[in-house]
């Protein structure tokens, strides 16, 4: 299991962009489709304080990013020594 989990959906452009960034940098992560898993959708809403914004990417240090830019995602991964 990866220490990074991404909640997203196939229809979500930001999710596709973040997946592409992670994949192109060979970052291992667990992907959970909120459309296929109702409990995952509920988890996203809980994390975001009532909003269903995706992607939500949870990191090994317990922090998360919601709808991160590629540069914010890169900065976070570098701080965790993943990149």
pLDDT, tens digit, for every residue of 56-67? 999 999 999 999
Domain ranges of the chain: 5-79
Taking all residues of the chain, what is their mean pLDDT, rounded to a whole number?
Answer: 96
CATH superfamily of 5-79: Glutaredoxin (3.40.30.10)
Q: Mean of the pLDDT values across residues 12-40?
A: 97
Helices 70-79, 13-24: inter-axial angle, 10-degree rounding: 40
The answer, yes or no, to whether residue 8 has pLDDT greater than 70, is yes
Q: Which two tokens stand for residue 78?
A: 């570098």
Give residue-wise pLDDT tens across range 30-55: 999 999 999 999 999 999 999 999 99
Dist CA 6 CA 29 (whole Å): 7
Task: Check residue 71 and give its pLDDT.
Answer: 98
The answer, yes or no, to whether residue 1 has pLDDT greater than 70, is no
Distances (CA, A) of 37 to 15, 17, 40, 61, 79: 16, 21, 5, 24, 30
């Amino acid at each position: 299991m990866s220490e990074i989990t991404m909640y997203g959906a196939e229809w979500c452009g930001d999710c596709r962009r973040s997946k592409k960034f992670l994949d192109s940098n060979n970052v291992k992560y667990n992907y959970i489709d909120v459309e296929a898993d109702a409990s995952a959708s509920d988890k996203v809403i809980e994390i975001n304080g009532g909003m269903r914004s995706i992607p939500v990417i949870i990191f090994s240090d317990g922090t998360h990013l919601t709808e991160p830019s590629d540069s914010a995602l890169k900065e976070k991964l570098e701080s965790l020594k993943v990149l």
